[in-house]
Chains A and B, each alone.
Chain A
């Protein structure tokens, strides 16, 4: 680019003329000359928020009175030229700004076209030169100034300019790629523009840089500065465009995904419609539920609630999570036997037959069931009793429940409470919880399909409790006939009548059952079976069952009674019959093997069962042949039945007080202390020197040491042992005793007499000492056992000494320091009731 100051024109692209023809362009007005340095006067249009650069064409709308006046003044000149100068951004007057608020550098503009629309003039303006205001001539009616044309920015470092220009063009390429809305002619103009100044001005006018920066570009003196500014601004603009484009494309992809989902959903709907699973299907489902609700016999409250839920269901789309919750709930309501009961079989003889078929003995229970049947027969709307069977494992509690259901002709449902620790298991979760279900009670009723099943609550003594609640407390409501007709499960939240349900609880011990719960149940004790009973049970039930289960028949296996008795005594130690059955099963299997191998055709099992079961596993505690002074035989009750135990006491010369070992519980320790104190205080009466208590300590031990023992019933035995120790008279080895003692010397009754006596009998004991008030319990003892026993009933401790201790002093007590008294007081007589065997 070159510029020659001698040349009159200001058109740099014009190549220098080598020939000139015709007249030179005359210049009436300085503007037309465009030569820098010659000032001329011109109308000025104040531009707001925009800058008009040379070499650009811009449409302008002119509406302000002063601006219109300026344009009209310009149009009145032959060349229609006007100066456009931008208002400084800090001005608030806008296009009406005074001259002082305008920049001093602007652009000389050629008005190419003008058109009036209403009060606005639309002009197309083309920038030609830069001008500088030299002096303001006029403010009103329009701005007028003396201006001077500024030279076009010159190039200082042409290579630098070229490099910047290329850089700018590359950036424009990038920008245009991100701006799809740019018209093609603009693209061509920008990319094809070889003129660095024109390119920079054009960029300045299209980039919308803001007045300040645009003005800076306009005022740039050199092309280098101008291009540099354009470069900087463009770079910033490009970054913004890129960022915006990134945001836009992200938003776009979001939208694309939403659209895609929508289309897929529509398609799915169409497919569902084809499959008949569309909304009309939902309505059909609701309709079906409504029909079932109408058909079902529901109590009024239940009907109201379920209709309310059904209405909610109809308003919900099938995809809503609540839909299925409500659906399941309604299903549950419909499936529950609100009013459906099974009919009871009321044939008492038939019932008796069934009970006898299933169980041997257990007369109490059978009688209770028959009583209940009789009551139902007379008064059908009677409330079902709540029974609780307590007894050791294997005595048939659970199977008895089944048999009761059979005899009554009712459904049987069993639910095990063992280890249950969550109240919600029994009573359900509220429906607001995800995955909520009704409690086990309601579930079992639903399974039974009638509202009067026999429900067996197994292992009620093994209920747990923790922070989730106490299921035992929930049972209080369930098992109370007064309130369980409106049992409210959390899930159903509707009252269900449980009063027709025949609840039977089972437990091994009463101890862990909370008293309020115990109070609600009618407790029936199932004591262990005696050996003769076991024999009968084995004969009638166990052997036939095991023969059947092992694929044999009656002719192939016979087991003699002796063998069964031996198994019961030596291979098992239990109150029930499970081990017994297992051993019989084991024999049956071995026989089955022999028969299958063709070794034999049939087998009879006699007392010689070592070949089948190996050596005996148990040697029950047998009565000791001889007891030293200070040892007595007691009787204990365990879950397994009864046992005999020995109470051993020795004197400790120079020792003090009472040492107790053998894992005795609090109660038992206390009764030991009471026994000693009693003997001490009545020492003279028993012929014991009182100094014995002072000079000797006593050690009391109860084997087996590893088994914890507790309870008051050893009081009598301990007294006997101590009395024997102090007097030197031995306790008779054929005598066992039980009973609670008091400090004043009374003997109180204790429990478990049957088991204790049976165990003593098994152990070879033939004399039994029982509290007088336990006389009634003797009835429970099987006749055949009772026949073989002498039983003495006592009400005071001194009687024990008379009955249990031998007359002679066989182990005289050791000498004592002072006031020794060797004379043992002889008892007056033996109790007449005791007969020596």
Chain B
């Protein structure tokens, strides 16, 4: 046993570790709007090209990647609180949205997704 001594370090469990998914997920609001749904996702700074929106059954899946495009040669980070890299958000609806028509747009840094059920 290479580390027998640690038996006596009382908490063998590292408290600071937390489980997570593989990717991060942005915050989202969902409105129920008459004939459909409006989903607002906090996804500022994500290029529309880096977005992927998938509908399946009653799930809406938003996937993508936030990249830091402000970084310039000669900058160094003093502090970083915005999470970059790939994200993934799955939203579950009470009914099937398989057949909904879907439009999306950016307004004030939020990604807006309109879903109209037929």
Residues on A facing B (Cβ under 8 Å): 9-11, 13-26, 28, 32, 34, 54-59, 72, 75-81, 89, 110-116, 126-129, 179, 181-183, 185-186, 189-190, 193, 198, 202, 205-208, 210-212, 237, 240-241, 244
Contacts and interface: CB of A to CB of B under 8 A. Distances in A.
A185 B79 contact: no
Nearest to B79: A115
A185 B18 contact: yes
Nearest to B10: A244
B94 interface: no
Contacts of B63: 9, 11, 14, 25
B22 A129 contact: yes
B15 A186 contact: yes
Contacts of B21: 13, 55, 198
A17 B57 contact: no
Contacts of A198: 19, 21
A15 B56 contact: yes
Given A56-B18, A78-B84, A189-B18, A207 B24 contact: no
B52 A24 contact: yes
B3 A210 contact: yes
Contacts of B66: 79
Nearest to B87: A110
A78 B68 CA distance: 4
B19 A190 contact: yes
Contacts of B59: 15
A21 B15 CA distance: 41
B15 A55 contact: no
A54 B51 CA distance: 23
B54 A19 contact: yes
Contact of B88 (A11, A18, A77): A11
Contact of A23 (B52, B86, B102): B52
B43 interface: no
Contacts of B49: 23, 26
Given A17-B61, A240-B7, A193 B19 contact: yes
Contacts of A114: 77, 79-80
B17 A58 contact: yes
B12 interface: yes
Interface of B: 1-3, 6-7, 9-24, 48-57, 59, 61, 63-69, 71, 75-81, 83-86, 88, 90, 98, 102, 104
Contacts of A19: 54-56, 98
- Of listed B12, B16, B22, B90, residue having the most chain A CB within 10 A: B22
26 contacts: A18-B54, A21-B102, A21-B104, A22-B53, A23-B52, A26-B50, A32-B65, A34-B86, A56-B19, A57-B18, A57-B20, A75-B71, A75-B80, A78-B68, A79-B65, A89-B2, A110-B84, A110-B85, A112-B24, A114-B80, A128-B23, A189-B19, A208-B6, A210-B2, A240-B7, A244-B10
Given A14-B90, A182-B15, A183-B15, 20 more contacts: A10-B22, A19-B55, A20-B52, A23-B51, A25-B65, A54-B22, A55-B20, A56-B18, A78-B69, A80-B80, A110-B85, A114-B77, A114-B79, A126-B24, A190-B19, A208-B6, A208-B9, A241-B12, A244-B7, A244-B10
Contact of A113 (B7, B11, B65, B81): B81
Nearest to A189: B19
Contacts of A208: 6, 9, 12-14
Nearest to A188: B19
Contacts of A9: 63
B58 to A, nearest CB: 11
Contacts of A128: 22-23, 85-86
Given A110-B85, A113-B81, A185-B18, A11 B68 contact: no
A25 B51 contact: yes
A210 B19 contact: no
B39 to A, nearest CB: 13
Contacts of A237: 12
Contacts, number: 175
A55 B3 CA distance: 25
Nearest to B4: A210
A193 B18 CA distance: 12
Contacts of B48: 22-23
A25 B84 contact: no
Given A17-B56, A112-B83, A126 B20 contact: yes
B15 A32 contact: no
A17 B20 contact: no
- Of listed B2, B19, B61, residue having the most chain A CB within 10 A: B19
A206 B13 contact: yes
Given A23-B48, A56-B17, A110 B83 contact: yes
A78 B67 contact: yes
B56 A16 contact: yes
Given A26-B50, A114-B79, A59 B16 contact: yes
- Of listed B12, B17, B18, B63, residue having the most chain A CB within 10 A: B17
Nearest to A19: B55
Contact of B50 (A13, A25, A211, A241): A25
What are the 8 A-B residue pairs with the smallest beta carbon separation, nearest first? A78-B67, A17-B54, A114-B80, A210-B3, A79-B85, A18-B56, A19-B55, A189-B19
Nearest to B21: A55
A79 B24 contact: no
A183 B16 CA distance: 10
A358 B46 CA distance: 135
- Of listed A10, A34, A77, A78, residue having the most chain B CB within 10 A: A78
Nearest to B11: A181
A75 B81 CA distance: 12
Contact of B85 (A28, A80, A89, A127): A80
Contacts of B17: 56-58, 202, 205-206
A115 B102 CA distance: 40
Contact of B67 (A79, A181, A183): A79
Contacts of A241: 12
A126 B88 CA distance: 14
Contacts of B10: 244
A22 B104 contact: yes
B57 A18 contact: yes
Contact of B71 (A18, A32, A76, A115): A76
A21 B14 contact: no
Given A19-B56, A78-B68, A179 B13 contact: yes
A179 B3 contact: no
A264 B50 CA distance: 74
Contacts of B3: 210
A55 B16 CA distance: 14
A712 B83 CA distance: 131
Contacts of B64: 25
A497 to B, nearest CB: 70
A206 B12 CA distance: 8
A179 B11 contact: yes
